[in-house]
Amino acid sequence: MSRNRRPLTLAAAVATAVTLGASALALPALAADGGGKAGPPKLELKDGTLDWGLKESFRRYVAGMAHGTIEATDGARQAADNGVFTFTDGTGTYDTGTHATATAFKGAVRFASTAHRFDIKIADVKVRTEGKTGAIQADVTLNGATQNGIDLAALDLSTVRPGQGEGGAMTFKDIPTTLTADGAKAFNGMYQAGDKLDPATLTVKAAAGTPTDKPTDKPDPTPTPTPTPTPTRTTTPTGTPTTPGRPAGQVVDGSLSWGLKKSFRTYISSGGKVTAAGGAAKVSGGYTFPHVKATVNAGAKKVDASFGGSVRFMYKAHGIDMRFSDLKVRTNGSKGTLIVDVTTRKGTNNDVKFATLDLSKASYRAKGDVVRLTKVPAAFTATGARQFANGAVGSMYKAGQRIDPVTVALSLSENAELPAGGGGRGDEATGGTGTTGSGSVGSGSVGGDTVGGGTGGAVLGDAGSLASTGAGIPSAALLGTAGAAVVAGAGAVYVARRKRGAELA
C-alpha cells in the first residue's frame, strides 16, 4: 500500500507547498510530452539549499591523518568542527506531470593533501529526483583531471517524508545516499560503488507566479484556491498528536555511554594515552558520545541512532593507534548491533558491525519522555574482533567475547532530562580464569583477558596481540619491548589501578 502511495505523497506535498507559497524539491527534469501536446506545467523553485557532508569519515581523514585542507568556496560553506557542507541559491523546477524535480546549486568544495598526494574538487552540484529515486550530480576534478556532470551519489527517497521549513520552505531531510560507480572513480578508488555516504537534506521554496508553462492571458485557477487552503491545510496536519511539528518517535537529543573494553583501557593507560574528541567525553567507566540523529519505535521495539565524536587509543611503544568514531546503535526487539568506524594505521574501516547487543531485558518504554536502554550486554562480532588483528599475531579477541555494556538515552521532547553521563560503566564480563584487573603475568592475562598460550604467552600478549592494530610490527622485534612489558607492564597496570582506581573503574 505505502509503495503505491509514495509518489503521490511526494507530488501532493510539492503541490500543497506551492499552493501555500511553500517550497519543494527542485532538479532538472523533462516535462511529459504526449505526442506534440504541451506537457503538464512546471513549477519554478528558488532559494534552495543542499546540506550534505559527502562522507564524514573522509572529512576526518583529510583533516586528520592526511594533514590536508578542506575549502568551501563560491557560495558553499562548511559547518563548524569539520561539519557538513551547504550548497546555496538553488533554483530549478518541479514537473507536475512526471513529479520529477531538478535543482542546481552554487558552491564548490576542495579536498587537498600534499602528504597523501590528492586534490579533489566538487563543483556545479545538482540534484534530481523522480519518484523514489534520484542522484546528486557534480563536476569532479581529481588531480587536475575533470569529469563533468557525473552522478556522484544515488538518492533513496522511499522512506523520506516532506517537512515544513522556515519561511514556508519544503524540506526533505536526511535522504540516504550511496556512492555511484562514477563517484568511486572520481575518488581514485578509495571507496567502492554502493558505499554509504552522508545523508543529504534538500530545501527549496516555490517561486512567485508558478506554474510556468501556462498561458498568461487566461485566468489561472491557482490564485483562487490559494487563500482558502492556507489556514485549513496547515493547521489540520500539524496540530494533531502530542508532538507538534515533529513525527512520533523522532528524537531531539540523546547520548551513548560505552567504555569499549575495560581491560583494553587499563592496558593502554599503563603506557599510552586516550583522547576523546568531536564532542565525545571521558566519564567514569568509559566515554559518552553525543546524539546526531535517531528514531524510536517503542511499539515495534526498534531504535536507529547515530552518535558523533571519537575516542583514540595510542600506545606508541607498542605500535598502537586506534580510533573509534561514528557510532550507531540499531535494535530490533531483543537483538541489536553496535556499528563503528575503526581507524588504524592501515586506514579506516567504515560501518564495522562491531558488537552484538542483547536487549532481552531492555525496556523501550519512555519514562519522562526519555527512552533508556541501560547497560545493554555487548559482545564482539567476528568482524569486531578482527579490528585488533595484525598479520603476524592475529587478534587476541574472539567473536562472542564480552565487552563493555552500552547505555543509550534518547529524549523525545525538548524539556526531557537526560541522565548524567557514565551510564555505560566498564563492568564487562571477563573471559578466561584471570579476574578483572589482576594484571597477572603468570596466567598470561591483562585485565582478565588471556593474551598468550604456553610459556611467554604474556610477552606476545602485551606486545603482539594487544598491539595488533595493523601496525605490522614483526613478533621478533617486539620481544625486547615485551620483556620489559612483562615485568614493568604488568606491574604498572597493577600500580596504575591502585593509584587511579576511580579513573579506570
| Per-residue model confidence as pLDDT tens digits over 156-208 | 988 888 787 777 788 888 999 999 999 988 887 788 899 999 999 999 888 76
Whole-number pLDDT of residue 451: 35
pTM of the model: 0.43
**What pLDDT does 228 receive?**
44
Bridge partners, residue 162, by sequence? 172
Helix crossing, 262-269 with 490-499: angle to 10°?
Answer: 100
Question: What tens digit of pLDDT does each residue of 75-101 get?
Answer: 999 999 999 999 999 999 888 777 788
- Between CA 282 and CA 77 the distance in angstroms is 31
Task: Kindly state the average pLDDT of the residues 220-233.
Answer: 44
Q: Which residue has the higher pLDDT, 273 or 246?
A: 273
Radius of gyration of the chain (CA): 27
Average pLDDT over residues 50-59: 94
At residue 218, does pLDDT exceed 60? no
Confidence of residue 111 (pLDDT cuts 50, 70, 90): very high
Higher per-residue pLDDT: 364 or 98: 364
What letter would DSSP give residue 159? T
Q: How far is CA 487 from the centre of its chain?
A: 42
Strand partners, 100: 130
pLDDT of residue 38: 55
- Residue 436, C-beta contacts closer than 8 angstroms, at least 6 positions apart: 262, 263, 428, 430, 447, 448
Q: Which residues, other chains included, contact 135 with Cβ-Cβ below 8 Å and sequence gap of 6+?
A: 127, 128, 151, 152, 153, 154, 155, 180
| Whole-number Å distance between alpha carbons of 353 and 195 | 15
44 has pLDDT over 70: yes
CB neighbour list of residue 27: distance below 8 Å, 6 or more residues apart: 92, 93, 100, 101, 102, 103, 126, 127, 128, 129, 134
Tens of pLDDT, residue by residue over 191-201, are 889 999 999 99
CB-CB contact of 170 with 158 (8 Å): no
Distance from C-alpha of 492 to C-alpha of 505, rounded to nearest angstrom: 16
Alpha-carbon distance of 83 to 281, in angstroms, equals 18
CA distances from 95 to 39, 42, 106, 302 (A): 9, 5, 22, 36
Mean pLDDT, the chain, as a whole number?
Answer: 74
Going by DSSP bridges, is the β-strand pair 85-95/100-106 parallel, antiparallel, or unpaired? antiparallel
Q: Give the C-alpha separation, 211 to 45, whole Å.
A: 10
Q: By the 8 A CB rule, do 475 and 464 touch? A: yes
In this predicted structure, the answer to whether residue 460 has a pLDDT above a threshold of 70 is: no
DSSP designation for 367: B
Q: Which contiguous run of DSSP H or E holds residue 238?
A: helix 229-238
